[in-house]
Every structure is written in structure tokens, then in C-alpha cells.
């Protein structure tokens, strides 16, 4: 009998899981639930905010591509999950039964600092990025200090670095840099920590980069409040300080959305409501429930004075999606083999004209190796990757054989590996 897999979420994680499932096994019915009618290439949202991309450049309507791929698409919000009954309810009250459930909703954004939701720009959704573009244009009309950074508990620091560098580049281009100071304020204990205790020489690289571009920084602090023209933070000694700011972009914390909480405490992690998963990204209590992408719970790698979380990059998410697909198909076939993502990752920060890239295998220590590269070609590589990824989304194949071949043979990295014992958290 054909099994029914329900995927909640139409981002990198959800789409990659659906495409991988379709590719591996023809005999599966797949339904994808997403309230957003389009796939958005998240890594390009900062570019949207700078006006370097248009909305239509970096999004793909989900309807046509999913229908072509043979995936049913329900363009509604998933509102409730009952993992005992194996059912999902959507915003319209529709009830959908499943054999397997993949939760790939992405995060709920938690703008925890006081006044942050109103006064801080955001690049976490396409809509936020579009609004940020307006704020940035306003800054350019009336220049003043800029603050970019991350509040306590943030796990995703990369875009904050990238955005600070992009703002610098755009202001130089417009001849306004002279009138704008840029300060990076973060919960990381040092520059380049990235929630990972650094990646190779990332500390030195980011310190040098910020020094060359005259971006000042304040590390190891808790941003407490974002006001219209001021960012208030507290240092480790408990002193409250502030920075003037006419344009603020602080990364929010990520948490599990309400639909995960509705699945109960065996699915939603008590710490932040993300999906509890084992090394194979399967829920330990409900073997037919998977968590994929930012919504999967990975414990912090490094204990930091101000709390930080572990980032999940696009490539890590692709690995999770691939492992989930492999594991579901193996389970359907009654096989015992299970797969875990290697969590190797390539992270690129685009600075407008040049880029800086980190290739870590794996992201979470102990690492086998780390490489970093900087240059104009890195900027072009990121742009090329964006076009390639969107092409894959439209084509309905997220991991073409030639990509697999190149990644394994040249980079000697694998997306997934057989897993002997799935128990324990993914680290």
C-alpha cells in the first residue's frame, strides 16, 4: 500500500525532503503544507534588503513546481499535529492523516529585546527584507550610525556579519560611508565565534576584515532594548551601555512555532519548542515523525558567557532532508539501515564585491578539516550557487547525481552517512 508522507514547510528543508523522497522511491504519496505560496532562497534575503535582488529573482511559486514533481500542495498554515493519531489540521480546519510526518516549518522568530520588533530591521523573511530595504533607503537620505548584530540566544550569526559588510559596501558605493559609523554588537564571546567556537581562523579573518572596513564591534553583551535611535545593551559586569543608531538590524532568536508545540512535549523540546530529534533526525518518541532544518533541535556546541546557539546552514539542512528521506524509505521497505547527515557545511558571506567562505567538515567539532577562502571569485561563486539552487528547485531535483559526484569526489564530503546507532542528539 502506498504510504503517505506529509511535509510541513516549503523552504529548503521541506522542499529538499519532498524532492529526495520522490527521487528515491516512486511509490510514495507526498503532501506538502505551506502557508507561503512560494519558495524563497533565504540566503539572498540580505541582497533583497540592499536592493541587489528583486523578489521575483529569488523566489519560485510552489504550485507549478510541486505539481510537476507529483507532490500535492496545500497552501494553508498547518495548525495542529496529533502524533498519536497521526494527523495534521490546517488553518481551514482540514484534517490530513499521515504515515510519516516531516516537520520543516522553519523557526518562529523571537524578537526578544524590548522594542526590537518595531525598531530593528530584519532579513529573516522576504517580507521583512523588503521592509528593511525601505528603512535602508531612509538611512541613506538622512545618514547616521548603524548597528548590526545579534541578541542573546541567537544561533544564526552569519547573516548578521554578511549584512554589516553589505551595508558598508553599499554606503561606500553611494558615497555615504564617511557619514555612517557601523558597529557590530553581539552575544558571541568574540568576533567570528559564529555560535561554533569559531571555524578555523574565523576570529582572525573577521577581525581583520572588520578592521579594514572600519566596522567597530562589541562582543559578549546582551542587547536589552532597541529604541528608535539607540541600542541598549548590558555587558558581562552588568553595566548598561548604549549606542546611537539610526538603522538597526539585529538577528532574533529562533524557536519552534506553535504547530510543533501542539504535538506535545515528546515532540517539542522544552527549551525552545523545536522538534526533538535523534542523530538521524527522527523523533525518539514517534518513529514516524522527523524534524528537518532550523526547526530541528541541536544543542549548543559551545558554552558561552552570553548564551548562543548552533547555526544550521543550508548545506546542513540539505543533509538533514536527505537523511530523513533515506530513513523514511528504508522504514517503508522494512530495512534496518539508517542514515545521519554529516553536517559538513559551506558558508559564504557575500560583501557585495568580494566574498569570504568557510568550508567545515563537519560544522560541529571535532572537525576533520576547515578551509577558508576570500576574494572576488567567492562573491561570484555565491551568486552562481544561488542561480543553480533556484534552477534545482524549478527542476524538482535537489541533489543531481553530478553534484553528488563532485561533492564526494572533489571535496571528499558526503551529505549523509550510514548510522550505527541513532540514539542521542545530532552533534
Q: How far is the CB of 300 from its own copies (least distance, A)?
A: 16
Residues 6+ apart with CB under 8 A from 387: none
Q: How far is the CB of 216 from its own copies (least distance, A)?
A: 8
Can you give the C-alpha Rg of the chain in angstroms? 21
Helix count and strand count (H, E) for the chain: 11, 24
Q: How far is the CB of 178 from its own copies (least distance, A)?
A: 6
What would the grid cell of residue 205 be? 579573518
What would the grid cell of residue 110 be? 523571537
Can you give the length of the chain in residues? 427
Residue whose CB is less far from its own copies, 264 or 365: 365
Stretch that binds its own copies, among 71-79, 83-91, 213-221, 347-355 (CB under 8 A): 213-221
At how many degrees (to 10) do helices 202-212 and 158-173 cross? 20
Cα-based angle 156, 162, 164 (whole degrees, multiple of 5):
110
**Could you say whether residue 368 binds its own copies (CB under 8 A)?**
yes
Q: Tell me if 110 sits within 8 A of 274, measured CB to CB.
A: no
Q: β-strand 95-97 against 253-255: which pairing, if any?
A: unpaired
**Could you say whether residue 366 binds its own copies (CB under 8 A)?**
yes
Residue whose CB is less far from its own copies, 147 or 332: 147
Q: How far is the CB of 324 from its own copies (least distance, A)?
A: 21
- Interface map 306-345 toward its own copies (x if CB under 8 A): ----------------------------------------
Q: Tell me if 12 sits within 8 A of 32, measured CB to CB.
A: no
First to last CA, the chain: 36
**Could you say whether residue 305 binds its own copies (CB under 8 A)?**
no
Residue with the three cell numbers 500535492: 72
**Could you say whether residue 194 binds its own copies (CB under 8 A)?**
no
Q: What is the DSSP letter of 242?
A: E
Closest to 157 in 3D by CA, of 203, 224, 104: 203
**Collapsed DSSP state (helix, strand, coil) of residue 345:** strand
Q: Tell me if 365 sits within 8 A of 288, measured CB to CB.
A: no
**Could you say whether residue 382 binds its own copies (CB under 8 A)?**
no
Please select the residue that binds its own copies; options are 75, 201, 262, 288, rule is CB under 8 A: 201
Q: How far is the CB of 167 from its own copies (least distance, A)?
A: 12
Stretch that binds its own copies, among 78-86, 93-101, 207-215, 326-334 (CB under 8 A): 207-215
CA distance 422 to 258: 27
- Interface map 26-65 toward its own copies (x if CB under 8 A): ----------------------------------------
**Could you say whether residue 365 binds its own copies (CB under 8 A)?**
yes
- Residue list 153-192, contact with its own copies (CB under 8 A): 172, 177-182
Closest to 81 in 3D by CA, of 324, 329, 283, 331: 283
**Could you say whether residue 212 binds its own copies (CB under 8 A)?**
yes
Please select the residue that binds its own copies; options are 203, 279, 338, 382, rule is CB under 8 A: 203
Stretch that binds its own copies, among 123-131, 237-245, 252-260, 367-375 (CB under 8 A): 367-375
**Could you say whether residue 370 binds its own copies (CB under 8 A)?**
yes
**Could you say whether residue 242 binds its own copies (CB under 8 A)?**
no
Tell me how many residues contact its own copies (CB under 8 A). 27
Residues 6+ apart with CB under 8 A from 200: 358, 360, 370, 371, 372
What would the grid cell of residue 214 be? 572600519
Please select the residue that binds its own copies; options are 367, 374, 392, 414, rule is CB under 8 A: 367
**Could you say whether residue 379 binds its own copies (CB under 8 A)?**
no
In degrees rounded to 5, what are phi and psi of residue 407? -65, -40
- Which amino acids are annotated catalytic? 156, 347
Closest to 126 in 3D by CA, of 75, 55, 63, 36: 55
Q: How far is the CB of 183 from its own copies (least distance, A)?
A: 10
**Could you say whether residue 362 binds its own copies (CB under 8 A)?**
yes
Contacts with its own copies, residue ranges (CB under 8 A): 172, 177-182, 198, 200-204, 207-208, 211-214, 216, 362, 365-370
Amino acid at each position: 500500500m502506498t504510504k503517505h508522507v506529509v511535509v510541513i514547510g516549503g523552504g529548503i528543508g521541506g522542499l529538499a525532503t519532498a524532492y529526495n523522497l520522490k527521487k528515491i522511491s516512486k511509490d510514495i504519496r507526498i503532501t506538502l503544507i505551506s502557508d507561503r505560496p512560494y519558495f524563497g532562497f533565504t540566503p539572498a534575503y540580505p541582497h533583497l534588503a540592499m536592493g541587489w535582488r528583486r523578489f521575483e529573482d529569488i523566489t519560485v511559486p510552489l504550485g507549478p513546481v510541486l505539481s510537476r514533481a507529483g507532490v500535492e500542495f496545500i497552501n494553508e498554515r498547518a495548525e495542529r499535529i496529533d502524533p498519536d493519531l497521526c494527523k495534521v489540521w490546517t488553518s481551514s480546519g482540514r484534517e490530513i492523516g499521515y504515515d510519516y510526518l516531516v516537520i520543516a516549518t522553519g523557526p518562529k522568530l523571537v524578537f526578544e529585546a524590548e522594542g526590537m520588533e518595531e525598531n530593528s530591521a530584519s532579513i529573516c523573511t522576504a517580507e521583512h527584507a523588503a521592509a528593511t530595504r525601505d528603512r535602508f533607503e531612509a538611512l541613506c537620505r538622512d545618514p547616521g550610525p548603524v548597528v548590526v548584530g545579534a541578541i542573546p540566544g541567537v544561533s544564526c550569526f552569519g547573516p548578521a556579519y554578511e549584512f554589516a559588510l553589505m551595508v558598508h559596501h553599499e554606503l561606500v558605493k553611494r558615497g555615504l560611508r564617511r557619514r555612517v559609523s557601523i558597529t557590530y554588537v553581539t552575544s558571541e564571546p568574540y568576533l567570528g565565534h559564529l555560535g561554533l567556537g569559531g571555524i578555523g581562523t574565523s576570529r582572525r579573518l573577521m577581525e581583520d576584515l572588520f578592521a579594514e572596513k572600519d566596522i567597530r564591534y562589541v562582543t559578549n553583551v546582551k542587547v536589552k532594548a532597541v529604541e528608535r535611535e539607540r541600542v541598549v545593551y548590558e555587558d558581562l559586569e552588568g553595566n548598561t551601555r548604549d549606542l546611537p543608531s539610526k538603522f538597526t538590524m539585529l538577528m532574533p532568536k529562533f524557536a519552534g512555532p506553535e504547530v510543533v508545540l501542539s504535538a506535545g512535549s515528546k515532540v517539542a523540546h522544552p527549551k525552545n519548542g523545536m522538534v526533538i530529534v535523534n542523530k538521524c533526525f527522527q523523533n525518539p518518541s514517534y518513529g514516524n515523525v522527523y524534524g528537518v532544518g532550523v526547526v530541528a533541535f541541536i544543542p549548543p556546541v559551545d558554552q558561552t558567557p552570553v548564551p548562543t546557539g548552533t547555526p544550521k546552514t543550508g548545506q546542513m539542512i540539505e543533509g538533514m532532508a536527505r537523511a530523513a528521506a533515506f530513513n523514511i524509505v528504508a522504514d517503508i521497505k522494512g530495512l534496518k539501515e539508517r542514515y545521519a547527515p554529516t553536517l559538513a557545511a559551506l558558508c559564504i558571506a557575500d560583501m557585495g564585491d568580494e566574498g569570504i567562505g568557510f568550508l567545515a567538515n563537519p560544522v560541529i567539532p571535532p572537525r576533520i578539516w576547515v578551509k577558508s577562502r576570500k576574494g572576488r571569485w567567492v562573491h561570484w561563486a555565491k551568486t552562481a550557487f544561488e542561480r543553480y539552487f533556484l534552477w534545482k528547485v524549478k527542476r524538482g531535483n535537489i541533489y543531481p547525481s553530478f553534484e553528488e559526484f563532485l561533492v564526494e569526489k572533489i571535496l571528499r564530503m558526503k551529505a549523509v552517512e550510514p548510522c550505527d546507532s541513532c540514539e542521542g542528539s545530532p552533534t
